[in-house]
Each structure stands twice: as C-alpha cells, then as structure tokens.
Amino acid sequence: MEILSNSIREIHEKLKKKEMSALELTDFFMDEIKSKDKDIKAFLSNDFSEAKKQAEKVDLAIKNGNEISMLSGIPAAIKDNILIDGIKATASSKILENYVAPYDATVILKLKKQDSVFLGKTNMDEFAMGSSTENSAFFKTKNPNDLSRVPGGSSGGSAAAVASNQCVFALGSDTGGSIRQPASFCGVVGLKPTYGAVSRYGLIAMASSLDQIGPLTKTVDDARVVFESIKGKDKKDATSVMYPEKLQEKGLKDLKIGIPKEYFIEGMDKKVEDVIKNEIKKMEDAGAKIEEIDLPHTKDALSVYYVIMPAEVSSNMARYDGIKYGFSTHKSDSEDLLSVYLNSRAEGIGPEVKKRMMLGTYVLSAGYYDAYYKRAQQVRTKITEDFKKAFSKVDIIATPTTPTTAFSFGEKTEDPLAMYLADIFTVPINLAGVPAISVPCGKINNMPVGLQFIAPWFCEETLFKAGEDYEKLIS
C-alpha cells in the first residue's frame, strides 16, 4: 500500500536502489486492476503479459548497472484514442472495434524510449465526444469516489484509473476540457498543455485545431515529469513546435493571480463557488496578489466551440467510410458503394458523434459558412486577445475547473445543452491554445472539486510552480 502514496520520483529512487523491482511494481498494479476494475470499468483492454516483459527489461537494465530514465518501469494507462503499435485502438467506437494500430503515436514512442510500462487502454466517450464517458459504445466508466456518478469525459477512463490507484499516471486528450474536467470530477491532477507543445501524431483526431495530449496524475510534480517526457517538436506533426524553455522563478507568494469575474456565473453550484473562493483567499493569505480581471468574450466561448469543433469533427470523421479500415457493413441492401458508406456509418457510429457530424456539415455548407464558421473563427480571435490582455496584467489566472461536482449517470443525457455546459470553464482555454492545469482543492459531500490554473502560452513551468506551492499550502 505504501506504493500508492509514492510520487514518480520516489518510485524511481526505489527502483534505482533496488528497494523494489519493476516487475513487483507492475504486479502490484495488475492486482489492483483485477480487484477494482470490475466495478469501476476504467480499462477497455489490458495486455499484462506485455507489461511484464516491459518491466523485466527495466529490471535487467538495473541489474546490469545501466542508468534508467525517470519513467522507466512506471506503470501507465493510455486513452484508447492514442495509437500503440499492434494494440487495438477503438476510440470507444463500434466502427473501430477491431482496428489494430499499425504504428506508435509519437507520445508512445517517447514513453517506450523511457521504458514506461503500459497496463492497458482506457475507456472514453466515443471519438472523445462527451463530458461523462456515457457515450462509450462499450460500457460506462464509474467515478471511484461514488460509483453512481460519472467520472467526467472524455478521458473518464484515464482519470478513474489514476484516482482508483490502478496506474501511476495516464495519458488523455483534451479538446474542450477532456483532461481537466474528469481530473476535477475524480480528484486528480490534469494538465492541458499549450497547443503544439505535445505532438498529436498518432492521436485519433476529433477537432485538429483544439486537440492536445496531456497527463493525468496524482500530483503536480508527476504531471511535470510526464509532460517533460512527451513534449517537443515532431516532424510528423506540423502544428508541433520546438518547446521554448521558460523558467518560472516566482513562487505562489510572489505571483499576481487574475480572477475573471466572468467565471463566477449564475447557474454555478454555490458550494463549488464557495470552495474556490475560499482557496483563492488562502493563496492571498500566503502572499499572492489577487486581482479581478476581465475576459469579456468568455460568454461567447461555448457557442464558438460548438461551431468550430463540429465543423472539424465532420471533416475528420469522413475517413470512416467502411472501406479503408474499421467496421464495414455486410447488409444485403449494400449493393452499391454509396449504400456501403451509408450503412457502415449508420451502424458503426453512435448518436452523439452523428449529431456533431451533422451540425458540422451544416455550419460548413454553402450559404452558412460565413454566417457560422467564419464568424466563430473571428470571435475565437477575440477570445485569444482577451487572454493576451489579461496576461499583460497578471502572471496566472485561477478559476473553477467545473461549475459542479460529478453528476449522476443519466442526469444530463436527456439535455445535451446541460451536458455541454459542464465544459464552460475549460473550453476558452482550448480556443486560445493556452496551457491549464486542474488541481484537487477540496470536496463537497465526498465529491472532489478542481481548481484550474491558466498560464500564458508555453509557460507550463508557471503552472507547475503555482500548483506545487498550492499543494504544499493545503497539505
């Protein structure tokens, strides 16, 4: 049980000193999965025999006196829209139910180079479209804090796996809050890096100008370790960049923290608001300078997101045609090519994904492009400018991660708008491309609440420093 309270750095030191072996560590987490996951259902698939081989390789390196990297032998869970060569990558969709990845995502190649141990692929909302993991085509993942509640989404399986101690860290993807929102709901740390800081090569695309891979961990320092291992330019992803080293000397007590008044809105759970305001007061008492700021286009962010995201979804989903790969119908009425297309997509794709594809096709269609898509991109520029202006006055921004704690299964499925509102505090960050981290900051009726820190572009170090200082403040 002591392993569960250890950080990645602490486990690394124990492996180096031979206080435990990588195989013992892997066996421990495999036992945790076997005993817990029948209830939580965080994982879609596991390959324990391969995980043991990876662990044995690390143990051999240690035995031979070789240097090991920080993530060597560290058991991880991977969201099922990130490709691992030779392993199924379903994106929790029937249309990819039997699709086996033919290559590694860049983040996986980087973790393999570090000799991380992959325990399995985690459940998610189908093609990452959702905020509760209720949209998975296979089964629902449950929140480890309360099995009657959702873990959040779309990286719900990854968040639940970390929160229930079924792995040391997990990778997720964040398009409009899909790392930070489940991190908040499950009570773990979730980092959405700057757009372009981490390669998207090998990530099954949802909305390409918004998607970003990032870690879910137990501590902020663990998030730092994983981010350092996966960041950087990749020639296979034209949107990735050479990560600029920006050191943050200021601790929490020296930071100027902006609090956007637009984030404390009507409809937000009063208890969540009270928790967040109480934590802001703690940071002020610790020496941080608190300043109210304006992000005036926040009110437009959700509308902008639900035009741009479906438009990109409709383009990205065109590749699933029942011909090249994935599910293909065998219906007798599929005699011509068009029928194969239509029937394969009708049977293989779930209702939420269909809804977004149709909405995206509509906003991109002749006569509507200028009215919707072009207009949304113009307002997106205004949202980005709001952040630029805010960061000229403050070092970092602090907000709630979500307007409520985790909701019950079925509570929002009948009302799509209520479900979409779960991402109201996370969506602006993806539209602007800035980095943000959700850190656990308290509980309401045993359900976690997340505090979100937002930093300027490529200032992840600021997030880590603020987050670590905040963890010390409340420990």
Cα separation, 120 vs 47, whole angstroms:
6
Catalytically annotated residues:
79, 154, 178
pLDDT of 247 > 70? The answer is no
Average pLDDT over residues 81-88: 98
pLDDT of 339 > 90? The answer is no
| Across 283-297, 317-331, 435-449, least confident range | 317-331
Confidence of residue 340 (pLDDT cuts 50, 70, 90): confident
Burial of 434 (0-12, 13-18, 19+ CB in 10 A): buried
Q: What is the model's pTM?
A: 0.96
Strand ranges (E), 268-421: 289-293, 396-400
pLDDT value at residue 85: 98
pLDDT of 266 > 80? The answer is no
pLDDT value at residue 373: 94
pLDDT value at residue 332: 60
pLDDT of 475 > 90? The answer is no
Confidence of residue 380 (pLDDT cuts 50, 70, 90): very high
Average pLDDT over residues 139-167: 98
Average pLDDT over residues 346-360: 95
What are the residue ranges spanned by the domains of the chain?
2-230
Cα separation, 289 vs 377, whole angstroms:
34
Share of residues in the chain with pLDDT > 70 (%): 98
pLDDT of 473 > 70? The answer is yes
Question: 2-230 is classed in which CATH architecture?
Answer: Alpha-Beta Complex (3.90)
Please give the order of strands across the beta sheet that includes 396-400: 43-46, 117-122, 75-79, 169-174, 212-217, 189-192, 436-444, 447-454, 396-400, 256-260, 289-293
Q: Average pLDDT of the chain? A: 95
